[in-house]
Amino acid sequence: MALLEVKDLQVYYGMIQALKGISFEVGQGEVIALIGANGAGKTTTLHAVTGLLPKKAGMVTLGGKDITKIPPHKIVEMGMAHVPEGRRVFAHLSVYQNLKMGAYIRREKEEFSHSLEMVYQKFPRLKERRNQPAGTLSGGEQQMLAMGRALMSQPKILLMDEPSMGLSPIFVNEIFKIIEEVSAAGTTVLLVEQNAKKALSIADRAYVLETGNIVLSGNAGELLNDESIKKAYLGE
Amino acid sequence: MSFLSYLINGVSLGSVYAIIALGYTMVYGIAKMLNFAHGDIIMVGGYAAFLAMVNAGLSPLIGVLVSIVVCTLLGVVIERIAYKPLRMAPPLAVLITAIGVSYFLQNLALLLFGADTKTFKSVISFKGISLAGGALQISGVTIVTIAACIVIVVGLSLFINKTRAGQAMLAVSEDRGAAQLMGINVNKTIALTFAIGSALAAIAGVLLCSAYPSLNPYTGAMPGIKAFVAAVFGGIGSVPGAMVGGILLGIIEILAKAYISSQLADAIVFAMLIIILLVKPTGIFGKKIQEKV
């Protein structure tokens, strides 16, 4: 049984249908990439899965439990963490306070220090800047903070929305290296990316979204060599 | 000596403004709305204490507690019925609703209690102190009001920084969507904010009516607007800003009344707001961090 299962998901913005009934699944321990052009519905999909957007139809299950109508804060408690597009760090709070917010659902003090240790180890830069307001960090550092914050809740599945957006190639490589580490440590990853090449290079499987429909899916390595994908998304 | 006495009265009146402004500023910071009915909660608080003490013959302390309970419940109910359904609506719709709630409360009070002004019995029996051989008199209400303001500001700061619910408020005020993704229940956090803000309005109402013992359905309107000015003055959304803004406003108002003209005092207060906003649009403690993109 898949850890996350999405069946015939439909989402509307007013009268406009943004998702036209998409289905996909993310197995335990997999890294799944959701790729597609701007406006294809990638972010909408993540928002609907985490409950930030209402769903018109369809069903979402996490670990076999129906979460279609569960509010976002409860879904987080069930083990899903979402690193939103644009990072959305708490700009006026310090790096440390941001990480503390990430552990909001973890009440145990020991668990908190353990997670904090783990995040600081993964992102030494965050430790250096722990007392600095998050809004003063560079884009790449903010992305690291957003990831670190999500990991503080010790999620079973990590949803990441465009982690490479606006970052220099060095930061992009670093972020993707850490995604691989997180995955190796046993966390399931659902990755939304415009940088299809990068996403496919670390994913196990991928789905291609086009104007609210999944048009293609398969093994990431195969998609990387698919002629139509190369043409449309890899710029080759 | 009279200057010092004016100054102390100013701080005292300012403390009431500050307590009201805290409610304004918290609700604005967390729910991102201007609750124009906040001032009328003060009036309801005044009536609740008045009825408990005069009609039911309860002690002043119980009167204050009744007032706090009534206002807290009222604040939560108003949020649930009038504002929560508008969570996704444009800000203007929420603002108009808040003005509607304000008129509703005023007219409901008019219907229930009549238009006549009631003489409020001070809840503070402590007579006050006399300094410098009687040249400087400080009333009990003045002392209690200032003390209450200090206790509230310190308590609120501790609550926000040290408790889980306070942290949730901080997160929601920064970014509601991201706060949800941390596992924070936004609706509960907003309801709690209204509860705290309304409880503070009750305390402000009782203190205000004790210092200026006339109570009618419009009692809360002007202090409400002045507290809003105080909150903007200090930087809306900021707790220390509300306190400093409130106290400054109280001092300016009393000094203007004493030395310039009591008719012009309010005009001077609002003129100060305009000047502050021209010089520093975010208010004294307004947050503005240069964000890197």
Phi-psi region of B17 (alpha: psi -120 to 50; beta: other; left: phi over 0): alpha
User: What's the pLDDT tens digit per position in B265-293?
Assistant: 999 988 988 888 888 888 888 765 444 44
Q: Up-side HSE of residue B140: CA atoms within 13 Å toward CB? A: 8
Residues B191-207 have a mean pLDDT of 97
Q: Does B88 touch chain A (CB under 8 A)?
A: no
Q: What is the pLDDT of residue B77?
A: 98
At residue B125, the pLDDT reads 81
CA B189 from chain centre, in angstroms, equals 19
Instruction: Find which of A78, A90, A112, A141 to mutate to test the B interface (most B CBs within 10 Å of its CB).
Output: A90
Which of B167, B170, B178 lies closest to A84 in CB terms?
B178
Contact B155, B167 (CB under 8 A): no
Residue B176 has pLDDT above 70, yes or no: yes
Q: Is the pLDDT of residue A151 over 80?
A: yes
Residue B127 has which token pair?
A: 């007579």
The per-residue pLDDT for A95 is 97
Asked if A44 has any chain B CB less than 8 Å from its own CB, the reply is: no
Terminal alpha carbon distance of chain A: 36
Specify the DSSP element, H or E, that contains B73.
helix B60-78
Residues in A touching B170 (Cβ below 8 Å): 90, 93, 97
From chain A, the residues in CB contact with B184 under 8 A are 73, 101, 104
Confidence of residue B135 (pLDDT cuts 50, 70, 90): confident
Which residue of A lies nearest to B177 if distances are taken between CA atoms? A52
Measured between alpha carbons, how far is residue A234 from residues A195, A226, B41, B46, B266 in Å?
8, 10, 61, 69, 66
Q: Is the pLDDT of residue A125 over 60?
A: yes
CATH superfamily of this structure's domain A1-79+194-236: P-loop containing nucleotide triphosphate hydrolases (3.40.50.300)
**Tens-digit pLDDT profile for residues A188-233:** 999 999 899 999 999 999 999 999 999 999 999 999 888 888 888 7
Chain B stretch 143-182, residues whose beta carbon is closer than 8 A to a beta carbon of chain A: 164, 167-168, 170-171, 174-175, 177-182
Polymer length of chain B: 293
pLDDT recorded at residue B124: 82
When pLDDT is cut at 50, 70 and 90, the band that residue A236 belongs to is low
User: A134 at the B interface (CB within 8 A)?
Assistant: no
pLDDT in tens, B201-253: 999 999 999 999 999 999 999 999 999 999 998 988 889 999 999 999 999 99
pTM of the model: 0.91
Count of other CB atoms within 10 angstroms of residue B126: 11
Nearest CB partner across the interface for A72, out of B181, B292, B293: B181
Question: What distance in Å separates residue A222's CA from the closest CA in chain B?
Answer: 34
Instruction: Name the average pLDDT for chain A.
Output: 94
Verify whether the Cβ–Cβ distance A101 to B185 is below 8 Å.
Answer: no
CB B175 to CB A73 under 8 A? no
Of the candidates B179, B287, B292, which has its C-beta nearest A137's C-beta?
A: B292
Backbone angles phi, psi at B3, to 5 degrees: -60, -45
Asked if B291 has any chain A CB less than 8 Å from its own CB, the reply is: yes
Using one digit for the tens of pLDDT, what is the confidence trace for B91-104? 999 999 999 999 99
A53 inside 8 A of chain B by CB: no
Asked if A145 reaches chain B (Cβ–Cβ under 8 Å), the answer is no
Q: Residue A69's Cα: distance from chain center in Å?
A: 20
The predicted-structure confidence for A9-62, as pLDDT tens digits, reads as follows 999 998 999 999 999 999 999 999 999 988 899 999 999 999 999 999 999 999
Pick from A128-132, A134-138, B75-79, B133-137: least confident = B133-137
Residues of B in contact with A77 (CB under 8 A): 183
Instruction: Say yes or no for a CB contact (<8 Å) between B182 and A88.
Output: no
Rounded Cα gap, residues A140 and A232, in angstroms:
27
Angstroms from A105 CA to nearest CA on chain B: 6
Q: Which residue is closest to A132 within chain B, CA to CA?
A: B289
| B-chain residues near A73 (CB < 8 A) | 180, 182-186
All residues of chain B having their beta carbon less than 8 Å from the beta carbon of residue A81 are: 181
Q: Is A17 helix (H, G, I), strand (E, B) or coil?
A: strand
Q: Among A157, A128, A124, A131, which Cα is nearest to A28's? A: A157
Decide if B184 and A166 are in contact by the 8 Å CB cutoff.
Answer: no
**Residue spans of beta strands (DSSP E) within chain B:** 118-119, 129-131, 136-138, 214-215
Set of chain A residues whose Cβ sits within 8 Å of the Cβ of B293:
139, 166
Contact A101 B175 (CB under 8 A): no
Contacts of A235 (CB under 8 A, 6+ apart): none
User: What are the residues facing A22 on neighbouring strands?
Assistant: A9
pLDDT tens-digit map of B48-105: 999 999 999 899 999 999 999 999 999 999 999 999 999 989 999 999 999 999 999 9
Complex prediction ipTM: 0.92
